[in-house]
Amino acid sequence: MHELAVTQSILDIALKNAEKVSAKRITGINLVIGRLASVVDDSIQFYWDILSDGTIAKGAQLNFTRMRTEMCCLDCGNIFTPGEDTFACPVCEGNRVRVSQGDELRIESIDVE
């Protein structure tokens, strides 16, 4: 359900930026979403179709790019892609890790006319 609030934020940002450049229409929005971000593309699209109705963003194409997950081991500094069932570092087998990529959600660009 949090996709509703996320989608509203995306729309607000897009409309604000389109207004700054006096755009007549928003034709596309390119989103970057990390694999660990807990949002579902189809849900964003569903809410987009509802929320953008009646705005210059109606009918804009949402393009989703998923970013792979990368972890940084806090013990040895190794940067790695975690396995399916573990976040342990493959070099030192340490479990003290932090996400360095893969939890983001951002607007990469907005296409306007």
Q: What is the pLDDT of residues 63-112, one digit of tens each?
A: 999 999 999 999 999 999 998 888 999 999 999 999 999 999 999 999 99
Q: Which domains does the chain have, with CATH numbers?
A: 2-69+101-112 (3.30.2320.50)
Query: Helix 41-51 vs helix 2-20: angle between axes, to the nearest 10 degrees?
Result: 60
CA atoms within a 13 Å half-sphere pointing along the CA-CB vector of 66: 9
Give pTM, 2 decimals: 0.85
Task: Give the Cβ contact number of residue 98 at 10 Å.
Answer: 9
AA letter at 79: I
Q: What is the pLDDT of residues 8-27, one digit of tens each?
A: 999 999 999 999 999 999 99
Quick one: tokens of 75? 């013990």
